[in-house]
Structure 1
Amino acid sequence: MSDGPHFSKVCAGGEPRLDVLFVHGLTGDPRETWTSGGPEQEYWPKWLCEELEGVSVYALGYPSSIFGKWAKKEMNLHERAGNMLEHLAANGIGARPIALVGHSLGGILVKEMLRASNECADRDWQAIAAQTRLAVFMATPHKGASLASAVKLIVPRLSSTHVDLLSNDSGYLTSLNQAYRDFANGAGIATVAYYEKYKTKGSSVIVPEDSADPGVGATRPVAVDADHISICKPAKRTDLIYVSLCRHLKAVLQQCSMSAGEDGALDSFASDDYGTSSESDRRDLLQKLIDAGREHEYQKANSLQNKFAQRYYKLGLHTDAKTKSDAVLAAVEQRFFTHVYGGKICKGATDEEIAAALQVHVIDPLCSGTGKDHLSPTAILQALYFLTEQCYIQWDAA
């Protein structure tokens, strides 16, 4: 059982493109929780590095005892989320796309970490939410069903802030899950959920289907032939929980490849010919800024987009340089639409919140390359306002 904060690298499969983080649950441990139920008793997260090229796998641990002698040492979940985020930031997590895998209480901690990361002012913490592509919940009680009462039935000699929290009497789980739904839907985070079908220790099904459903997009909880403890312990590589996790991680890895190209370049973003204006919104740059209450930005915005346009059209119609410019434009358009327009503008965010999202989700990630792929913040802004003029993006929710 984990008796202090823990962060360790489990394995790596080739050149890393995706960081996979495992977070254990109540009474769990960063190793024992993820040890297979088969006769070999293998630490199964290591299987991922043999199966998938481009993943780095990590284990997180935290004090999670349910016994009275530990109660006074426990942080609440908000405090623990900040504690874990600082561990991740200090260890360089956030530089690459992330997949988070949580069991039981670990899934709740994952959601609290994402909420804290998305709302804080620390850019290293913000990067963790910005880079999250997949969240996997194994028997996590999103709606606060029977977990607290069932654990107390199984182990009557306990006193824990975590267990009390899981009763949802305060409405904490409902509030947290609403925040996660809004964030995941706006940021386009793929969400996967599993629930057990067997009673734990013959007592009860701790997290049934209804409680295991986070209510995100098209997420449909998947039933697993296991109890609450064994659901995260596949006995062999053909077990559903393992092959399903691999399937979803492969999808994220494919997206990472499409986003950066196999050689790390931005070429594969290229799609539309941005030299031709879109028909979706024919307002010019000035009108769009006026409609968004940002007309004071027009002079600078117009200057920036003119510089990009002069260079863009100067490159000709069929050159490698233009292809790369189209790739940059596609990257800016996709990130702006997902994280700024859908995630903030359409939800009535303030100018400060929009600016922060633009910095974290568009400018910082696209300026993180080196050498031939390096882009300056000014170049990103030039591309952004060029896309506005070309009618591919807008700044108001009309």
Structure 2
Amino acid sequence: MSDSRAKHGLDELTPPNLEAIVDIVFVHGLHGNKENTWTATTKDGKVFWPRDLLTQDIKNARIFTWGYDSHITHFWSKTSAGNVDTHAKNLCADLSSRREFTDTTDRPIIFVGHSLGGIVCANTLVLAENSAEPYANEIASNIRGMAFLGTPHEGSNKTKWAKVGQQFASWIKTVNKEHIEVLEPHSVKLGSIGSSFGNILRRRGEKKEKGSKIEIACFFEEKETSPIGFIVTEDAARLGSYETMSIAADHRGMAKFTSKEDPGYARVSGVLNMWVSILEKEAAKPPQPPPASVINKAFFGDNNGGLNVGQSQAPTNWTQNNYGRQGQGDSDPSQGGRRTGA
């Protein structure tokens, strides 16, 4: 990865012919890297856990890691307030292109974001949900889960966001006037993202349609980062009433796991496994017939008086097509009508 371009874009960590039911996408944060952020060093070598551990535990997920220019002065620029939007738009476009190429545009998506990478994930949902582009809307509608590792959630409070910016500047050892000036004005932008993100989660949660709700899990660091202290506190990492758990590491270490026995890995992978299990059950459900009242109205209008006049007791074509063939090899209810592919 000596070429900086190799550090950007989407890398697939699973075999290209995998029969997956979900895409899991890892997004690093400030001064991060699409591999190093998620890699722990042990006496036996390096462990890139999304590839070396998670692919073994969730075998029906296609797993990606995504990279971008995350230097603090490039993440936000004094000359352009749009860089955080640019990252989100690029993530959406890169993911959409890969899914279109592999004919998997209807596959559910789970994001895992570390630090401010979680903000990029949240902003991807915000921009895609409100985009005029169908491909972006498709990404938004298929986002089903987001796991945040050390991501601050301060809503629309720009004062708190300004403090978060100072903490991040201190963390990367660049506490100088230039970087503080870069971060502080964007507290307004971060507040806007946080507010819009919360509104979308609320709207999606209120819908009754299958696949509308977005699962959320937030993880916070148990250990301080010397000599600064906590980069993202438990309170800052909490997002409303969603589940919040701790990882016994500092801000950088909380995204690095050495083995499957690591308690932090067990928590994060456990959440991801749970979400994938929910998606498995959804995909396995056979189609449900419409209520009799709907069929009655469709065929006989509103003047039937509830007498079911003219309805046959014989199976309809709909029930024959969708239920009569099961067990005869004509349909596979375990696929739930979804397209499969790499």
Structure 1 length as normaliser, TM-score?
0.64
Partner of 1:179: 199
Q: 1:60 to 1:183 in 2, by over 3 A?
A: farther
| SS of residue matched to 2:46 | coil
**How has the CA–CA distance of structure 1 residues 166 and 31 changed in structure 2, closer, same or farther, with 3 Å as cutoff?**
farther
Q: Secondary structure at the match of 1:27?
A: coil
Q: Does 2:80 match 1:76?
A: no
Point out which structure has higher relative CO (alpha carbons under 8 A, 6+ apart): 2
One-letter amino acid matched to 2:216: T
Give the percent of matched residue pairs that are identical in Structure 1 and Structure 2. 23
Summarize deviations over 1:332-373 as a string: whole Å, max 9, x none: xxxxxxxxxxxxxxxxxxxxxxxxxxxxxxxxxx98659xxx
Residue 185 of structure 1 deviates from its aligned partner by 2.3
1:131 aligned residue: 142
Between the aligned partners of 2:316 and 2:98, the Cα distance in structure 1 is 44
Report what 2:223 is aligned to.
198
Going from structure 1 to structure 2, the CA distance change for 1:324 and 1:59 (only over 3 Å counts) comes to farther
Query: Any residues of structure 2 matched to 1:85-234 within 5 Å, and which?
Result: 85-92=92-99, 94-143=105-154, 144-145=160-161, 146-153=163-170, 154-157=173-176, 159=179, 163-164=183-184, 167-168=187-188, 171-186=191-206, 187-215=212-240, 218-234=241-257
Q: CA deviation at 1:74?
A: 8.5
Provide the rounded CA distance (Å) in 2 between the counterparts of 1:49 and 1:104. Answer: 23
- Matched length: 297
- The separation in 2 between residues aligned to 1:169 and 1:122, in whole angstroms, is 22
Change in 2 beyond 3 A, CA 1:312/1:108:
farther
- Structure 2 portions without partners, runs of 5+: 155-159, 207-211, 303-309, 326-335
Contact residue 142 and residue 177 of structure 1 kept, 8 A: no
Report the secondary structure of 1:150's partner residue.
Answer: helix
- Residues 165, 172 of structure 1: 8 Å contact kept: no
Is 1:323 aligned with 2:323? Answer: yes
Contact 1:315–1:322 (CA under 8 A) maintained in structure 2: no
2:62 pairs with 1:42:
no
Q: Match of 2:19, SS?
A: coil
> In the aligned structure 1, how far is the partner of 2:242 from the partner of 2:70?
28
Task: Answer whether contact 1:139 1:207 (CA < 8 A) is retained.
Answer: yes
Given the alignment, which residue of 45, 51, 67 partners 1:61? 67
Let me know the Cα RMSD of the aligned residues.
Answer: 3.8
Q: Is the 8 A contact 2:201 2:214 kept in 1?
A: no
Aligned partners of 1:35 and 1:43 also within 8 Å:
yes
Q: SS of the residue aligned with 2:85?
A: helix
Q: Distance in 1 between matches of 2:111 and 2:132?
A: 22
**Alpha-carbon distance in structure 2 between the residues aligned to 1:108 and 1:80:** 10
**What's the CA shift for 1:99?**
0.7
- Normalization by structure 2: what TM-score? 0.73
Check conservation: 1:8, 1:60, Cα contact below 8 A.
yes
Number of the residue aligned with 1:395: none
Tell whether the 8 Å contact from 1:177 to 1:214 is kept in structure 2 after alignment. no
Structure 1 residues 180 and 315, CA gap change in structure 2 (3 angstroms): same
CA contact (8 A) 2:123 2:197 kept: no
The counterpart of 1:19, out of the listed 13, 23, 46, is 23
Q: How does 1:308-387 map to 2 (within 5 A)?
A: 314-315=314-315, 321=321, 323=323, 369=339
SS in 1 for 2:216: strand
Q: Structure 1: give runs of 5+ residues left out of the alignment.
A: 279-283, 286-297, 303-309, 326-365, 371-398
Residue 52 (structure 1) aligned to one of 33, 36, 58? 58
Q: Assess, with a 3 A threshold, how the Cα gap between structure 1 residues 277 and 68 changes in structure 2: closer, same or farther.
A: closer
1:197 is displaced (CA, Å) by 1.9
